[in-house]
Amino acid sequence: GEEDDGVTAGIPLSLAPHLRADLFEWLVPGMLTEKVVFLLKGLPKGLRKQLVPIPQTAAEIVRDLPFGRGSLYRALEQVIADSFKLRIAARDWPLADLPPHLRFRFCLLDGQGKIVSATRELSALKSGATGQTQAFGSGQMAGLKARWEQKNLTPAQLGQTPASLPVPGVNGTLQGYVYPGLCYNEQEGLGQRLFVQENEARQSTRLALLSLYSKEFALQFKSLRKDLAIPRSHWALYEGLGTHEQINHDVWNFVVYTVFDIRDGLPPSAGQFAAKIEEVRRQGLSPLCREIFAAVDQVLQERRTTLDAIARLSGKGGLVSGEEARLADYRRQVARIVPADFLRETPLSRLPAMCRYLKALRIRLERARLSPGKDALKAQQVAIHEERYAAAAAGNDLSGALLERLHEYQEMIEEFKVSLFAQELGTAVPVSAKRLEKKWQEIDQLC
């Protein structure tokens, strides 16, 4: 019952963002059996009774567990399935009831080894590390800075740079990571420095590359930025997505980041930089930018058309009165298809699908007006998947594998809607209720 019961792990500030929750699910070998006993006892009765006597079963299971490999809970599910022909879902484990001593206690440490904060929730530890700066000692950083930090560079001097660099601690321990990134200003020109925060390195690199490419295409950049701006008079296109200044800032960055392949914020080599300039000159900066802008404009036009169609439904000749909840749901669907940050988060390749989903929603609107009962029945087939997605996506500390599956699941849900409400548009991938259920099972095993 004490605050420091169980096992404590000291986590350097700069390592916190890189930690995987599954590494700590195993505790230590001497406590694993006790934890497995607790987990088995907390299973739903229908499952638990097939595993009695629990202490003996737990001991058998622990002998077969691959300690420290991946998630403890996924490993338990696999061993139980193999040995007892019993399927345990992620939601069956009594994780919320785990006593403190069966969960790691995490202490966030600053550069001097002093405790910044303590918690048993890894997600809270990561949140506590966000925005804080790890102060590495001069000795730790001297070698890295001497090798990787540079000033007064020319693009021809850009070299192959790793995405991250380990910072060594005493006795060969790992103290944390730093991230090489480009930086640029008019006074000092182009340079490369090491950042403690990865997002800062990526953003600095994007801005530096944008400055370099803009010098290569100075006159075209100036005229194109003016030509590819959404006028204030077209406010309806970006209503709900940000201010006039914000939307044009996002549109321009989306266009040039896409043309020059700098969305990932990773420094190119000199050869890659020169090759990109040659490629853009050969294809023409103006037609490349205008083609991308047209794709963005198409999404905005489709979004506005869909919102207008929803608005008309609430007027004369629309849906019967009392169905404002349905209209609100349609508006939420538009926001899911085209979120406010879509230009910052969505690649060019996804824009055509967004347009198709909006068209499918408009077809659904018209058919729902004529046959609301049929629409409601079809909507029930989608609702369970939308609820599952929302619940899973709202979780903390989502792994890369889980985020990838969730993205696939979200796309499949939208394609499923097309197949239900606007079959004539066709789907980009084969989709069905059965395929969605199978994808959800993959996600459920990772949750």
Tens-digit pLDDT profile for residues 82-97: 899 998 877 788 888 8
How confident is the model over 291-300, as a mean pLDDT? 98
- Do 263 and 347 touch, CB atoms closer than 8 A? yes
Q: Which of 196-205, 324-333, 334-343, 400-409 has the lowest mean pLDDT?
A: 400-409
Q: In Å, how far are 2, 27, 48, 134, 253 from 31, measured between CA atoms?
A: 17, 7, 21, 32, 52
Burial class (CB in 10 A: 0-12, 13-18, 19+), 373: exposed
Higher pLDDT, 81 or 197: 81
Average pLDDT on 377-402 reads 83
Task: State the first-to-last Cα distance of the chain, in angstroms, to the nearest integer.
Answer: 28
Work out the average pLDDT over 345-371.
94
| pLDDT value of position 445 | 64
User: What is the per-residue pLDDT for 3?
Assistant: 52
183 residue type, one letter? C
Q: Give the gyration radius of the chain's Cα atoms.
A: 27
Model pLDDT, residue 392: 84
Q: What is the mean pLDDT of residues 321-328?
A: 75
Q: Structure tokens of 380?
A: 């029930």
Look at residue 140 in the predicted model and tell me its pLDDT.
66
What are the phi and psi torsion angles at 94 (to 5°)? -85, 55
Confidence of residue 111 (pLDDT cuts 50, 70, 90): low
Calculate mean pLDDT across residues 56-85: 89
Q: Read out DSSP for 222-286?
A: HHHHHHT---GGGHHHHTTT--HHHHHHHHHHHHHHHHTT-TT-PPPPHHHHHHHHHHHHHH-HH
Task: Please identify which residue in the block is written with the tokens 């008309």.
Answer: 312
Q: What CA–CA distances, in Å, run from 18 to 13, 122, 164, 166?
A: 10, 11, 11, 12
98: nearest Cα among 125, 64, 124, 73: 73
Residue 40: pLDDT band with limits 50, 70, 90: very high
For the chain, what percent of residues have pLDDT higher than 70? 86
Decide which of 89 and 275 is more confident. Answer: 275
pLDDT of residue 59: 94
Q: Is it the case that residue 235 has pLDDT exceeding 70?
A: yes
pLDDT tens per residue across span 184-203 = 988 889 999 998 888 899 99
Q: How far is CA 340 from CA 125, 239, 337, in A?
A: 29, 10, 10
Tokens of 366: 């018209």
Q: What local confidence, expressed as pLDDT, does residue 369 receive?
A: 86
| Confidence class for position 5, pLDDT limits 50, 70, 90 | low
Each domain of the chain, given as residue ranges in start order, spans 8-129, 138-251, 283-446
The DSSP code for 67 is T
DSSP 346: -
∠ Cα 165 167 171 (to 5°): 140
Lowest mean pLDDT among 117-126, 288-297, 424-433: 117-126
Per-residue pLDDT band for 10 (boundaries 50, 70, 90) equals confident
443 pLDDT band, cuts 50/70/90, is confident
Maximum average pLDDT range among 130-144, 354-368, 426-440: 354-368
Q: Hey, what are 88's tokens?
A: 């345990």
Residues 52-70, mean pLDDT to the nearest whole number: 90
Distance CA 114, CA 383 (A): 49
Question: Who wins on pLDDT, 172 or 313?
Answer: 313
